[in-house]
Amino acid sequence: MSWQYLIWFALCAVAFWLSGAVVAFRSRRSWVATSLSLCGSIVFLSFIVGMWLSLERPPMRTMGETRLWYTFFLSLAGVAVYSRWRYKWILSFSTMMSVVFICINLFKPEIHNKSLMPALQSVWFVPHVIVYMFAYAMMGAVTLFALYLWLRRPARRPTGEEMGVCDNLVRIGWSFLSLGMIMGALWAKQAWGDFWTWDPKETWAAATWLSYLLYMHLRPRLREDYHLAFALIVFSFILLQMCWYGINFLPSAQGASVHTY
Amino acid sequence: MSSSWGYGRAFYRCLLLFAVGVVLQLCVGDVNNSFLQYPWGLILAVNYLYILVLLHTMRKKWRWVEQLSDTYASTSSLASMVVMTIIFGLTRQEPSTEGLVGLLGFSRMTSSWPFNLLLLYFTTTIGLSVIDDLHHWRHRRLAAMMSHIATFVILVCGIFGSADKLRVTVNTHLERPVVEGTDGRGISRTLPFAITLKEFKMDEYPPKLYILDTKNESSSKDFLSVESLPAEAEIDGWHLRVEQMIDMAGRMPDATDWREMIHTGAAPAVYLTACNKVSGEQYSGWVSCGSHIFEPSYLFLGERFAVAMPRRDAKRYLSRVEVEHMDGQREKFNVEVNHPARIGAWRIYQVGYDTARGRWSTTSVLECVRDGWYSAVHIALWLMLAAGVVMFVTAGGRSLARKSKAKIADVKSKSK
């Protein structure tokens, strides 16, 4: 398997995801939309597995490789949320975001170096990255939904059910952020002897984690003020972007992070 | 009390702590945590916990204590930590005290008074919440309680145990026992055991070939990884074909050919042919990354380009060491990245080697770390991991807003 096959797998996966998104709106039988979307995720996963086998290491090292996982988990998060709460729009959202990330990978392909530095050869490497990518996908989904509720025309107050969706997605995403962060700490102790070193990546991960935690603590008091709730979701997602790839461009983090790919 | 005043009061408290921190930073400089060295860190931690329990029991008598454990206090302290962490992330961490950020201690954030005071306040609000949770056990708040307890333990250990961690870097040489190393400040430290390096082993990835542009001083993004023969690839308009590969090779001083040499300092070498896809120019020759003994070889493709092989990437490296305790007892360990050796409260980590010699290195850089608070933090992290799982499993129930109503009803019924 090589990078050049991505477009064919992506086309096939996107066809399944689009069909699932359309069926979610048109059909009352939710299992049809769920199955179609899952088929798309399986097709995309087979490309990732193929890359894994050909690279002889987990494809999680470069930004392009993490985007593959993000795309996969975004689609899977969409299916999970749709199956659990029957939100018809979520499959369209997850498909749209998956397409965006596939396009980035198609137009900005990266060299897939087979080398995996010794520090990355840990039992924590795969779960740490996968859990974080799933958390990012959930937070991406809730940010889009919050923006939709906030900016829709004609403007109207979000219902309790709609805010409940935001709360649930943040809660699930935050639980995965916590898992990813703790796995990273346990791994760091094994590799470098410190659980936490305030490396720029870790600092921004802490800021993101705290910001979503603030949302969860503020929400009970923000039953009326949905503007602040939405603003906090969007702000937290900006912090997440800083943690994911923003530090690569941040002057204060240049040459100071061990999290360089 | 109105919620706006509640928040206002709580945020003023954070602002006051920040202002006090700034004044202390300007007057006394960075926080010096050396007073927290064992046993004082532990004694202060126990006293801190005692004070928290005392405050919890006194919360009905003293209004300000009650205000320390309410929602406004936890939210405002959390918000202040978000702000401080963002400043932390935006500020380059270096010992410099120049400029406003240096003066306020933000360039040395973990030692700055504003950060540490707000962190202690944040820890205190969580601690009071944990005691309240333990006092009024509520099953439906299981995930929150678990994450509160875990966060509190991690923060208490991080604050009061901050002076107890000792990192000693030890440079070991083959068959030479070492009992001393240097800590992070360059101070010599004696270890309670002697370490002798018995063997250093390194596995490397296959050699890679790049096209160098000598005019622009850049290398191609694509490369040819020589894993097996024949190996070929097209890179920047050149077709490369490797015809011969020697894993351990050497070259006589006046020779152009590389030949097999099973000897210290041997380097990988490949014989290849490069053909330009447009002009048809063809070049053949040996390419090697060289070693500390042999000079590297390049294949020049005309005047501008050349084929080069950088030093091979390390796949894994390990040190076989013998540790001799003070009582004369000896133990053997394999120390590898991600697989430290454990000796009581000490752990030995593989840090580096002589990169100039690579796989032929006769020295190994190890780091001995003593962390007395390891077990407590380790347990707390696993509790946090479990809390994350519980939160994921139980998510999707009531919304946060409805949860709050239930919590208020809960408190009301308790007060009746």
Residue with tokens 């996982």: A69
Domain count, chain A: 2
Q: Where are the domains of chain B?
A: 7-164, 166-203+315-370, 206-312
Q: Which two tokens stand for residue B135?
A: 């006092």
Of B221, B315, B349, the CB nearest to A193: B349
CA distance B79 to chain A (A): 6
Q: Are residues A111 and A125 in the same domain?
A: no
Boundary residue ending a domain (A61, A82, A116): A116
- For all residues of chain A together, what is the average pLDDT? 88
Q: Are residues A180 and A247 in the same domain?
A: yes
Do residues B65 and B73 touch, judged by C-beta distance below 8 A?
no
Q: What distance lies between CA B415 and its chain's CA centroid?
A: 47
Q: What is the pLDDT of residue B415?
A: 43
Encode pLDDT of A241-255 as tens digits.
999 989 988 888 887
Boundary residue ending a domain (A64, A89, A116): A116
Encode pLDDT of B216-245 as tens digits.
888 988 889 888 888 888 999 999 999 999
Q: Does the pLDDT of residue A51 top 70, yes or no? A: yes
List chain A residues with CB under 8 Å of B89.
Answer: 200, 203-204, 207, 242, 247, 250, 252-253
The angle at the Cα of B405, spanning B403 to B410, to the nearest 5 degrees, equals 90
Instruction: Find which of A167, A198, A224 to mutate to test the B interface (most B CBs within 10 Å of its CB).
Output: A167
Q: Are residues A173 and A200 in the same domain?
A: yes
Encode pLDDT of B254-283 as tens digits.
788 899 988 889 999 999 999 999 999 999
- For all residues of chain B together, what is the average pLDDT? 90
Instruction: Find which of B82, B353, B364 to mutate to test the A interface (most A CBs within 10 Å of its CB).
Output: B82
More confident residue, B127 or A90: B127
Q: Does the pLDDT of residue B163 top 50, yes or no? A: yes
CA atoms of B8 and A123, how far apart (whole Å): 47
C-alpha distances out from residue B167 to A3, A134, A195, B182, B336, Å = 43, 35, 13, 8, 17
Do residues B144 and A220 touch, judged by C-beta distance below 8 A?
no
CA atoms of B226 and B230, how far apart (whole Å): 8
Counting every residue written for chain B, the total comes to: 416
CATH T-level fold of B166-203+315-370: Tick-borne Encephalitis virus Glycoprotein; domain 1 (2.60.98)
Q: Which long-range contacts link A240-246 to residues 24+ away (Cβ below 8 Å)?
A: A240/A136, A240/A139, A240/A208, A242/A204, A242/A207, A242/A208, A242/B89, A243/A201, A243/A204, A243/A205, A243/A207, A243/A208, A244/A66, A244/A136, A245/A63, A246/A204
Of A121, A163, A222, the CB nearest to B338: A121
Q: Are residues A97 and A150 in the same domain?
A: no
CA atoms of B60 and B22, how far apart (whole Å): 32
Q: Does the pLDDT of residue B190 top 90, yes or no? A: yes
Using DSSP's 3-state secondary structure scheme, residue B330 falls into strand
Exposure pattern of B126-136 as b/e (b: 16+ CB <10 Å)? bbbbbbebeee
Residue with tokens 């005047």: B303
List chain A residues with CB under 8 Å of B110.
Answer: 198
Boundary residue ending a domain (A69, A88, A116): A116
Phi/psi of residue B243, nearest 5 degrees = -105, -25
Phi/psi of residue B295, nearest 5 degrees = -70, 150
Do residues B321 and B333 touch, judged by C-beta distance below 8 A?
yes
Q: Are residues A128 and A254 in the same domain?
A: yes
Nearest to B283 by CA among B269, B270, B272: B272
Q: Are residues A167 and A112 in the same domain?
A: no
Q: Are residues A216 and A235 in the same domain?
A: yes
Report the pLDDT averaged over residues A183-196.
Answer: 93
> Is residue B386 very low, low, confident or very high in pLDDT (cuts 50, 70, 90)?
very high
Phi/psi of residue B18, nearest 5 degrees = -60, -45
Q: Are residues A166 and A257 in the same domain?
A: yes
Which range of A60-64, A189-193, A231-235 scores highest in mean pLDDT? It is: A231-235
Lowest mean pLDDT among A106-115, A227-236, B82-91, B230-239: A106-115
Report the pLDDT averaged over residues B38-44.
Answer: 95
Q: Are residues A232 and A128 in the same domain?
A: yes
> Is residue B410 very low, low, confident or very high in pLDDT (cuts 50, 70, 90)?
very low
Domain that holds residue A208: 119-261
CA distance B275 to chain A (A): 23
Q: What is the pLDDT of residue B414?
A: 44
Q: Are residues A167 and A105 in the same domain?
A: no
List chain A residues with CB under 8 Å of B339.
Answer: 190
Q: Quote ipTM for the complex.
A: 0.87
Q: Are residues A236 and A133 in the same domain?
A: yes
Instruction: Find which of A195, A225, A249, A254 to mutate to test the B interface (most B CBs within 10 Å of its CB).
Output: A195
Q: Is the dihedral of CA A144, A145, A150, A154 positive or negative?
A: positive
Encode pLDDT of B18-39 as tens digits.
999 999 999 999 999 999 999 9
Q: Are residues A213 and A110 in the same domain?
A: no
